[in-house]
Structure 1
Amino acid sequence: MSAPTLQQFQSQVSELLLRHRSLLDVVTKYSQSNAAVNRAVAKSITECGCIELNARHQGFSADMELDQANRQSKSHMEGHLCEHCREAIRSEMGKNLFYMSALCNALEINLQDVVNKEAEKCSTLGWFNLT
């Protein structure tokens, strides 16, 4: 079985979503699912310990070249997700994607168009997309 396209997934979400069709329900469920992703990441640090966070100042300066800033940039993460944490985070991300698709449906926005436009913007603006 091949992976569904974003359009197929969005249609599937539309068929499956019964209880939370109200825009307010969808928005709050999307927010809640986003918090659950963040919580799962935090638990991989605080409960499991498979990854560690060692955050420090990135050391950027106004006169720094972009390629130097990119080389200097760090994720602050040490270690690798264990399979349990990876699956927990993946599951929460799936729920988040489900509610993002539901939000797109409620607002009559095509998720594939969102991805395409963002990819186009990234291609066009490159590094400057982040400002």
Structure 2
Amino acid sequence: MELKEFTKKVDDVLIRHKSILDITSKLHETDGKINRAIAKAVTECGCIKINAFKQDMPENINYSDLSKYMKNHIEGRLCHTCEEKIVEEIGDHMFYIAALCNNLELSTDEILKKKYNEIETLGKFSLF
């Protein structure tokens, strides 16, 4: 399935929450649900742990080598149940991203192509 098909299907099935206000509030809600699902994976299930600390970087390091020293602070792996829940919540979030693009007559494909080209052109420096 392509992104264009997904975006079209969202437009076909979205009826009740078609207002831009509904969509933006649902985006905020789904973002919170993703955060909550990750927190529950840590605090209720325990399949992952977060061991956050200050990122230590050697002095005079080349920016392109920096990723070798950066940590994601996650210990462990998501269990099947937590992974399913987080995938579900991310899917809901993507649904409302597609709905937002549809309402504003923006192409999800073009947005991703533009971001990809920006990353491709600027490389690691695009996120600095």
Shared fold per TM-score greater than 0.5: yes
Q: Which residue in 2 is equivalent to 1:48? A: 45
Which amino acid counterpart does residue 58 of structure 1 have in structure 2?
Q
Q: Tell me how far apart the structure 2 counterparts of residues 68 and 90 of structure 1 sit (CA, whole Å).
A: 31
Which amino acid counterpart does residue 81 of structure 1 have in structure 2?
L
Count residues in correspondence: 128
Q: Tell me how far apart the structure 1 counterparts of residues 19 and 57 of structure 2 sit (CA, whole Å).
A: 44
* Deviation readout 1:42-67 (Å, 9 max, x if unpaired): 11001100000000111236732124
Q: Tell me how far apart the structure 1 counterparts of residues 39 and 59 of structure 2 sit (CA, whole Å).
A: 32
Q: Which runs of 4+ in 1 moved over 2 A?
A: 60-64
Match of 1:20 among 14, 17, 20: 17
8 Å Cα contact 2:64-2:124 kept in structure 1: no
Q: Which residue in 1 is equivalent to 2:109? A: 112
Length-normalised TM-score, structure 2: 0.95
Q: Structure 1's 70 and 17: CA in aligned 2 closer, same or farther, altered over 3 A?
A: same
Map residues 98-109 of structure 1 onto 2, 5 A cutoff: 98-109=95-106
Q: Structure 1's 62 and 128: CA in aligned 2 closer, same or farther, altered over 3 A?
A: farther
- Give, in angstroms, the shift of residue 115 of structure 1: 1.1
Which amino acid counterpart does residue 65 of structure 1 have in structure 2?
N
Q: Which residue in 1 is equivalent to 2:89? A: 92
State the SS of the aligned residue for 1:64. coil
Which stretch has the larger CA shift, 51-60 or 83-92?
51-60
Q: Which residue in 2 is equivalent to 1:36? A: 33
Which amino acid counterpart does residue 15 of structure 1 have in structure 2?
D
Q: Tell me how far apart the structure 1 counterparts of residues 19 and 58 of structure 2 sit (CA, whole Å).
A: 46
Q: Tell me how far apart the structure 2 counterparts of residues 57 and 26 of structure 1 sit (CA, whole Å).
A: 36
Equivalent pairs: percent with the same residue? 38
List gaps (5 residues or longer) in structure 1: none
Length-normalised TM-score, structure 1: 0.93
Whether 2:8 is the aligned partner of 1:11: answer: yes
* Deviation readout 1:82-116 (Å, 9 max, x if unpaired): 00000000000000000000000011111111111
